[in-house]
């Protein structure tokens, strides 16, 4: 009932994760990468598998602490 409404609102317009293809809730920890939006866990797992180290993520400012941006200049397309 009320809980259902909250879920509907959160998922409205949510992007799909670029790795697991499930929707990324608006306030879920997520990463905005040049290649798309990822769950933070998904991005870290993908990055670690690819580069063998943890990514350096920038927590978002202005109140959007769930939104991270990528600090490394990753050449996703070139690799």
Among residue numbers 45 through 74, which ones bind Zn ion (CB under 5 A)?
none
Separation CA 33–CA 11 (nearest Å): 20
Applying CB under 5 A, among 31, 32, 40, 42 the residue interacting with Zn ion is: 42
- Asked if 40 is part of the footprint of Zn ion (rule: CB under 5 A), the reply reads no
Helix (H) or strand (E) holding 26: none
Q: Could you tell me the smallest distance in angstroms from the CB atom of residue 20 to Zn ion?
A: 3
- Asked if 39 is part of the footprint of Zn ion (rule: CB under 5 A), the reply reads yes
- Asked if 20 is part of the footprint of Zn ion (rule: CB under 5 A), the reply reads yes
Q: Could you tell me the smallest distance in angstroms from the CB atom of residue 64 to Zn ion?
A: 18
Q: What is the DSSP letter of 54?
A: -
> How do beta strands 57-59 and 67-70 pair?
antiparallel
Residue 57: count of CB within 10 angstroms of its CB: 20
């Amino acid at each position: 009932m009320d809980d259902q409404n909250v879920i509907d609102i959160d998922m409205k317009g949510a992007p799909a994760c670029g790795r697991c293809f499930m929707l990324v809730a608006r306030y879920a920890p997520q990463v905005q990468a040049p290649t798309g939006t990822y769950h933070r866990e998904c991005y870290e797992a993908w990055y670690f598998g690819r580069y063998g180290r943890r990514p350096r993520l920038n927590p978002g400012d202005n109140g959007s602490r769930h939104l991270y941006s990528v600090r490394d200049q990753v050449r996703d397309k070139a690799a």
